[in-house]
Structure 1
Amino acid sequence: MSATESAEKLPWRRRFLSAVRHHPWMYAFVLPGLLFFVVFHYVPLLGNVIAFQDFSPYLGIADSRWVGMSNFADLFRDPEVIGAIVNTLIISFLQLAFAFPAPIALAIFLNSLLSERLKRWIQTVVYLPHFLSWVIVVALWQQVLGGAGSLARGLEMVGIESVNIMSDPSTFKLLVVAQVIWKDVGWGTIIFFAAISTISAELYESAAVDGAGPWRRIWHVTLPGLIPVTVMMLILQLGNVLTVGFEQLLLQQPAVGADAAQVIDTFVYFRGIAGGEWGISAAVGLIKGVIGTVLVLGANRLAKRLGTDGLF
């Protein structure tokens, strides 16, 4: 029996302690990150109990009145909740359809460039918007597409009636997706560009010898090599399918109105923190978390059935 097989038969506690003894510094570096998730992500889950209470911050969890499933029943009778859910699902679908593939397309484009200097320059330019806050991003877009922006003034100069895209509710959801792509496409490209770099150069050479052109090499070599990373990122994205950008939408809601910009996160803010309806807001958050968990588990199982490794 090998040493590895012998170690696998030990109880998990002994295996864990043995690993800590052999690699103490590795676990020391992991500990701060683990504590962060425990303190700021897992411990707050206990606060979901207020979804079943008529919670008051002055009374606390222990003394607030229990209402059972009343908060959940009120949610499905509230038209504002239904509108927020519909807006969230529409924006999330548009982001999956357009914002999710954008980093993949950009990574493939950058990989096809022969000039390393041009490649690095484009990478630097598209990375920079990720480090801007949404306040600055919305302000920049307002300066270009707003009623007094560059586009409106340019149209007036050529005799065309000016437009204010930033306050148009009919195109607001597409505008949100365009802003997400502009801000984060470069950052998302990092992962896919790294995945492309791991694809063996011999595969491209073999395809070229067989007569495959650039498009066929992308289709038969690059895209199959990106499938594992793409599946992993898609599963993670599905976990956040009901999270579509709180700050981005909160900043632009006054211009387009709640009918177009009210999503689950902004509903929780206005009804919970601003309105004091803590129980209903907690119920919305709990449902959102449950749906995200189910989607991640379901997508992971489906990915494994389709022959990929999945996420876990």
Structure 2
Amino acid sequence: MMLATMTYDNPSPEINLNSLVVELEHYRRQSEWLGLVNDLHARLSGAVDLPTMLEAFSVWLTPLVDHELMAYENQERNRVHMLCSCHGPDRRQIIEIAQKSLKLQTDVADSYCGLHGNFHLHRWNLDKFKASGIMLVLKKDKKISQYEEGLLNKGLEILSEPLQRALEYEDLYEQASHDTLTGLLNRRVFEERITSIMAQSHRHGHPVTLACLDLDKFKEINDTHGHAVGDMVLQKMARIMESMVRSCDILARVGGDEFVIILPETELTDAQTLANRLCRAIDQFELPALGSSKLGISIGLAELEPGQTQEKWLQRADEALYQAKAAGRSQVHCL
């Protein structure tokens, strides 16, 4: 019995294992990056304003590029926001570095990297990403690698459009969120912002202090000089307070002569220093229409405690204000 011999006219081509490994690695990295892109889009889709947009980007970036601070500034729209995970002396140092860098002219090179103390600062002009503004990322001890910088560049390209959307949203939001008389933020915005600021403070353990303010003798001024003069006084008071707070602080008018200030990254002692300065500034305020009438302001301060609820925090600040009012004109009380 003869066995048939099978032959193959078209034998399989020889497989180049090295090329196959390279190609598979390419597809693996591409798949990994697409997963990261989808994750970033999902995070950004839930953010509408600048603070939540930057926090979403920072949370996405953290496992890829370890960083201590992220900051964004748009001078045209007067917008600035910082996210910092440092504590203690490092925190003050890194925030000062970021603030100084943001003051540099925006027409510097598209990107900049420099060592400041023990922090490496990376600065991007977002014009090249078809966005506007300056983005900062600061990292302690170790410079951002070329691979990490590539990830950041790709991430900023994705961020640019949502970032512009957030700025446009804030422009529209600003029109509906400000008190018509004083131009300050209104109660609705205060109630929205306090929730997110508290969440960040509890998450990162950063200090934040709440100030409740109430004008002294304002009812008497209204009754004696009329509502037109009273409105003028409120506008002047708003400008004084506005000139003394930082861009990251939340200053709002929540009632007739009632104001609140949320002071992120601020311990009680620093808030008390600001409150005393405010009292002195308003105590020295003079308006010819007031004649001999003298204005003042009472301020109650409460620093957010770990795990404290919003209701309890507001209650403590309000109680501090009550104690300040009871102590006399232009007083500050802390709880």
TM-score bracket relative to the smaller structure: under 0.3
Which protein is richer in strand relative to its size? 2
TM-score w.r.t. structure 1 length?
A: 0.25
- State the TM-score, normalized to the length of structure 2: 0.24
Where relative contact order (Cα < 8 A, 6+ residues apart) is larger, the structure is 1
Structure with greater Cα Rg: 2
The structure with more helix, counted as a fraction of residues: 1
